[in-house]
Amino acid sequence: MKLHVLAQPHTQVTKEYLRCAYTQKILKFCQMMHKEGHEVILYASEDNETPAELATCITKQEQIKLGFNGPEDYTKNDFDNTKPLWQIFHQRAIYELKNRVKKGDIIGTFSGRCDKPIADNFPDCYFTELGIGYSGVFANFRVYESYAWMHTVMGALAGDAANADGRFYDTVIPNYFDPADFPFVDKKKDYLLFVGRMIHRKGLKIIEEMAKRMPETHFILAGQGASQKGNKIICQELTIEGDNLEYVGTINTEQRGKLMSEAKALIVPTLYCGPFEGVSVEANFCGTPIITPDFGCFTENNIEGLTGFRCSTIKQFIEATEKVALLNPQKIRDYAMSRFSMDVVGKMYTKYFEQLKGLENGGFYEK
């Protein structure tokens, strides 16, 4: 099967862009589907660490000219497809696709309605949103990261959850990971870890309150968007304080693996209804338990008493930090492997694409 995969115009499809979750999904998707035996063509910038055939749609020099100088600038993209960044990318992608695409091919995006101008040019293809963790959906065929997020978006689009109808060709396929990126450690050290953007909605105030009530416990925080002065971690939106809080800044693949694999637990106190929150599954690949809220994607991905604990109060968050010692790190990793490894998820995508091709033989009413 031929898959045309649209990258994002402000990054390179390399592991250097570790902090851009969607770029990493694109990279792994191309690797995964190539291994599944599909012909994969990637429409992207110049650097490509995937086995896919590359069609260059924007150069690094053009990205730099528009203010995207490297991995640190990935958050600058405002996903406004009227901006020059997207205009250049779309013009070239449409040209490259017209030279390659055939009726019935699958064109996939991870950028939602930003790529609608491309979809409009190829009405005879199966234009598919391949990993929806955002709200700006538009395509006829939609793959969500979790059922929690699919239902959240359906309710929002209906304007009233009671009026939301399902869509038979929408589906849920979870995010996917290369187990080799996550070292397994059976014996954990005595620190609690947070990894994520240093913003209010990631639950930093919950971390601060936990640290206040657990003065003998060391908390390590990693992620973009903060600095530490003494016992204060200063973020753009807020400041949190604690003598037992250590901020280590942004981390690379090796640092992430070491911190996650050795942590007593990863705390993921996300305040919003999370679409997937990939760091929680990454920790599980390391055999590390997770402590999360009891809503959003965590109701599907955090199996109470197996992979971690789900909490509704600060007291429960604190109690969970003791209960995680009862969990089995090997069973945690085994569960992550069985649900989220690329070998498992790749087959889920292949099955979905075969379902789309069934539209040529009657689709929903196929006999």
156 pLDDT band (50/70/90 cuts)? very high
Q: What is the mean pLDDT of the chain?
A: 96
Mean pLDDT of 43-63: 98
- Is the pLDDT score of 365 beyond 90? no
**Complete domains list, the chain, with CATH:** 2-176+342-365 (3.40.50.2000), 179-339 (3.40.50.2000)
364 pLDDT band (50/70/90 cuts)? confident
**Whole-number pLDDT of residue 363:** 80
State pLDDT tens for residues 225-254: 999 999 999 999 999 999 999 999 999 999
Mean pLDDT of 274-278: 97
Mean pLDDT of 305-309: 98
**Sequence-distant (≥ 6) Cβ neighbours of residue 39 within 8 angstroms:** 1, 2, 3, 53
Mean pLDDT of 75-85: 94
**Whole-number pLDDT of residue 18:** 86
Cα dihedral 153, 155, 159, 161, rounded to 10, equals -170
DSSP helix/strand/coil, 279: helix
**Whole-number pLDDT of residue 75:** 86
Q: Let me know: does 27 contact 15? Beta carbons within 8 Å.
A: yes
% pLDDT > 70, the chain:
100
> How far from 225 is each of 128, 256, 271, CA to CA, in Å?
33, 17, 18
Of 26, 31, 28, which is closest to residue 10 (Cα–Cα)? 26
φ and ψ at 338, to 5 degrees? -75, -20
**Whole-number pLDDT of residue 157:** 96
- Tokens 């996939």 correspond to 108
DSSP helix/strand/coil, 23: helix
- Structure-block tokens of residue 314: 């600060």
Q: Let me know: does 298 contact 343? Beta carbons within 8 Å.
A: no
**Whole-number pLDDT of residue 309:** 98
φ and ψ at 265, to 5 degrees? -165, 155
The span from the CA of 321 to the CA of 192, in Å, is 8
- Is the pLDDT score of 367 beyond 80? no
| Whole-structure pTM value | 0.95
State pLDDT tens for residues 163-211: 999 999 999 999 999 999 999 999 999 999 999 999 999 999 999 999 9
- Is the pLDDT score of 255 beyond 90? yes
The span from the CA of 56 to the CA of 41, in Å, is 10
